[in-house]
């Protein structure tokens, strides 16, 4: 995260004695750091040692079910056709991946009875439908549709839904951290006046008293395609306090302030977050370009360095036909794409769009799974034929 936050009690000085109320037992300090000791970090203060483990079990490896001979074509698929049962982790269906990213959707219909940690990947969770509480060792907050929750890797957390009728999430795992774009921040890290969102829009974790409980607590740790069950002898949410720059947070897509130009502005104006290997954009309702002869629909383009993924949330999706909420389009890198027949003409003179969508542009090719094959619109690549 781009700014400092602290919750609960912390000692006046780092790496000094910090005693519990009994005056003789110590809180346990843990440095939670990134890029060795060279990038952002937080200091956590536990009731007990975070390393205590009763047992470790290697559960079955996770299978990706790759679509091995998938053709190089434009793809449109309906993620809502692939359902599964489970919580925010076990109900995930993987659709796309490369060595840096994994893109899944899920329809959680229960809550976990365990704690979860993703050790190798940072997580971005978009709440399409559903409300509930995001719990983590760093604090908790309520979530609602449109929230985009960022969870740095290594953090213990859970998503607890209020009910199980109609939940839907999009999950993006990244092997490098999610960053607020550098050009949105001034030299002190503060969001600039012309950035599309500001610090007031950030949903921060709120404090709760640490759980001072002993017993057996299941923690599932995902490490690549391996899943481990750790049994901890104390409750994982045992922080009396913490401070620093690494923590989970959220931002609602409806708080994104889109930019408008006289002529068509390219997707970088819709940037939300960057990583080293892909970017995330937020497309929101906005007025169209105001040149009298402007064509608001995008021109045909070949992103020769980017595979373009769009997850459609709600609205009119001005440049696409046949798209539904929950649809994903994948336009692979190296071949051109653009509006379907009639969409360019229809956009001329239009004043605004009401679309909400999340875009993910990866700098490496994406592989797809059989979930794409099972849910795809077979004729999408022919949809440019008049």
Q: Which residues bind Fe ion (CB under 5 A)?
A: 308
> Cβ 287 to Fe ion, closest distance in Å?
20
For residue 361, the minimal CB distance to Fe ion (Å) is 8
Task: Closer to Fe ion by CB, 246 or 280: give it.
Answer: 280
Nearest distance from residue 239's CB to Fe ion, in Å?
Answer: 43
Measured from the CB atom, the residue of 308 and 355 that comes closer to Fe ion is 308
Q: Is 254 left (phi over 0), alpha (psi -120 to 50) or beta?
A: alpha
Q: Give the nearer residue to Fe ion in terms of CB position, either 147 or 308.
A: 308
Q: How far apart are CB 319 and Fe ion at their closest, in Å?
A: 8
CB of 106 or CB of 357, closer to Fe ion: 357
Six token digits for residue 376: 């795809």
Tell me whether residue 168 or residue 270 sits nearer to Fe ion (CB atom). Answer: 270
Q: Which residues touch 272 (CB under 8 Å, ≥6 apart)?
A: 148, 196, 197, 251, 256, 280, 281, 282
Minimal distance, residue 337 CB to Fe ion, in Å:
6
> Residue with CB nearest Fe ion?
308
CB 231 within 8 A of CB 55: yes
- The minimum distance between CB 298 and Fe ion, in angstroms, equals 6
Q: Which residues contact 111 (CB under 8 A, 6 or more apart)?
A: 87, 158, 159, 160, 161
Between 74 and 218, CB nearer to Fe ion: 74
- CA angle, 77 as apex, 334 and 356 as ends, to 5°? 85
Q: Compute the least distance from the CB of residue 301 to Fe ion, in Å.
A: 6
**Which residue in 140, 91, 117, 109 sits closest to 217, CA to CA?**
117
Q: Where are the beta strands (DSSP E) in 179-238?
A: 214-223, 226-234
Nearest CB to Fe ion, comparing residues 48 and 308: 308
* Spatial contact of 73 and 373, defined as CB atoms under 8 Å apart: no
First to last CA, the chain: 47
């Amino acid at each position: 995260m781009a700014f400092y936050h602290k919750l609960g009690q912390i000692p006046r000085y780092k790496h000094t004695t910090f005693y519990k109320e009994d005056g003789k037992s110590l809180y346990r300090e843990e440095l939670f750091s990134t890029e060795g000791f060279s990038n952002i970090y937080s200091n956590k203060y536990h009731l007990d040692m975070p390393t205590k483990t009763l047992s470790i079990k290697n559960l079955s490896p996770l299978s990706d079910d790759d679509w091995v001979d998938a053709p190089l074509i434009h793809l449109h698929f309906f993620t809502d056709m692939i359902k599964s049962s489970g919580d925010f982790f076990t109900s995930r269906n993987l659709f796309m991946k490369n060595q840096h990213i994994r893109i899944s959707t899920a329809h959680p219909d229960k809550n976990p009875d365990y704690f979860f940690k993703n050790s190798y990947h940072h997580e971005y969770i978009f709440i399409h439908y559903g409300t509930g509480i995001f719990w983590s060792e760093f604090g908790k907050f309520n979530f609602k549709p449109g929230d985009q929750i960022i969870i740095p890797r290594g953090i213990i957390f859970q998503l607890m839904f209020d009910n199980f009728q109609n939940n839907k999430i999009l999950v993006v795992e990244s092997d490098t951290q999610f960053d607020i774009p550098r050009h949105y921040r001034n030299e002190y890290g503060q969001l600039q006046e012309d950035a599309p969102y500001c610090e007031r829009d950030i949903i921060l974790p709120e404090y709760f008293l640490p759980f001072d409980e002993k017993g057996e607590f299941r923690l599932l740790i995902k490490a690549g395609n391996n899943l481990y069950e750790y049994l901890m002898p104390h409750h994982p949410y045992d922080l009396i306090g913490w401070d620093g720059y690494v923590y989970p947070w959220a931002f609602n897509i409806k708080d994104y302030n889109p930019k408008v130009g006289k002529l068509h502005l390219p997707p970088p104006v819709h940037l939300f977050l960057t990583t080293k290997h892909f970017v995330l954009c937020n497309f929101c309702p906005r007025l169209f370009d105001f040149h009298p002869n402007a064509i608001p629909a995008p021109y045909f383009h070949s992103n020769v360095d980017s595979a373009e993924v769009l997850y459609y949330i709600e609205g009119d999706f001005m440049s696409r036909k046949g798209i539904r909420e929950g649809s994903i389009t994948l336009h692979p890198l190296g071949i051109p794409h653009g509006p379907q027949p009639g969409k360019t003409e229809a956009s001329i003179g239009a004043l605004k769009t009401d679309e909400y969508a999340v875009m993910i542009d990866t700098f490496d090719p994406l592989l797809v799974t059989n979930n794409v094959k099972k849910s795809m619109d077979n004729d999408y690549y022919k949809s440019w034929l008049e």
